Amino acid sequence: MSGAELSDGSVIDVDFVIVGIGVTPNDRLAQDCGLNVGNGVLVDEFARTSDPSIFAAGDCAMLPWRGRNIRLESVQNAVDQAESIAATLAAGPDGETAPYDAKPWFWSDQYDVKLQIAGFNLGYDETLVRPGTREGSVSIWYYAEGRLIAVDAINDAKAYVTAKKLLDNGLSADKAIIADPAADLKQLLA
Ligand SMILES: Cc1cc2nc3c(=O)[nH]c(=O)nc-3n(C[C@H](O)[C@H](O)[C@H](O)COP(=O)(O)OP(=O)(O)OC[C@H]3O[C@@H](n4cnc5c(N)ncnc54)[C@H](O)[C@@H]3O)c2cc1C
């Protein structure tokens, strides 16, 4: 018999446990400084905190994105958001800069598995699983209200690259093509 005891004391039966290390932001320093926090340091579209002379980037920053507030825990976001802040600082108080428009993507190498993620699957209501052309390759396509919002690609660079291009350009993916493993993904970009 195995089980996991939750913080409210309840116990649920489990076969195995995935440990999520580093998923709780430590916003104590920001809180002590009087900045607005809530599951991270709250920032606006220019990564400014509630004190406009203080900026926050990376895992700790809770940023506005497509109508909601999210944290993006990836190396790429930490780098991209920092670059956006640098541009804002370099422009000075009267300079014009573009707001940070996060284009989420993520990768991780786990032994012989290369995981690449394009988009953010929050709020999906449908998934399609598509076998890749190489042995062991597969991709999961996430849709919300019929529109593509994210793709997980496992050892399937073609699916990842296609999905990234589609999402970066605000395009969806025809479900009939995704559901047909024999269909060429190139059609989606034509
Ligand atoms: C186990 C694990 C695996 C991951 N794998 C991947 C992956 O495969 N791909 C990917 O894209 N991302 C991965 N990530 C996420 C990635 O590491 C983070 O998104 C990224 O490091 C965030 O960068 P950051 O600069 O925001 O924060 P961090 O890299 O955490 O840097 C914050 C720094 O601030 C320091 N610090 C904190 N408090 C204070 C303080 N009070 N005073 C001074 N210094 C302080 C910390 O010591 C740390 O050095 C992984 C994370 C974990 C934990």
The DSSP code sequence of 46-83 is: T-B-SSTT-B--GGGEEEEETTEEE---SHHHHHHHHH
Beta strands in the chain, from DSSP E residues, in sequence order: 3-5, 11-13, 41-42, 61-65, 68-70, 105-110, 113-119, 126-131, 138-144, 147-154
Residues within a 6 A CB radius of ligand 1: 21-22, 29, 58-59, 73-76, 78, 106-108
Specify the pTM. Answer: 0.85
How high is the pLDDT of residue 116?
97
Mutate to test the pocket of ligand 1, among 18, 75, 110, 114 (most ligand atoms within 8 A of CB): 75
**What is the Å distance from ligand 1's center to 59 Cα?**
7
| Segment 31-83, tens digit of pLDDT | 999 999 999 999 999 999 999 999 999 999 999 998 999 999 999 999 999 99
Instruction: DSSP letter for 149, please.
Output: E
pLDDT in tens, 11-31: 999 988 888 887 889 999 999
* Residues whose CB is less than 8 angstroms from the CB of residue 77 and which lie 6 or more positions away in sequence, other chains included: 58, 102, 104
Supply the residue whose CA is at minimum distance from atom 1 of ligand 1: 21
Distance of CA 5 to the CA centre of its chain: 28
Q: How confident is the model at residue 2 (pLDDT cuts 50, 70, 90)?
A: confident
> Which domains occur in the chain, in start order?
1-98 (3.50.50.60), 105-189 (3.30.390.30)
Q: How far is the CA of 107 from the centre of ligand 1 (A)?
A: 15
Ligand 1 center from residue 120 Cα (angstroms): 19
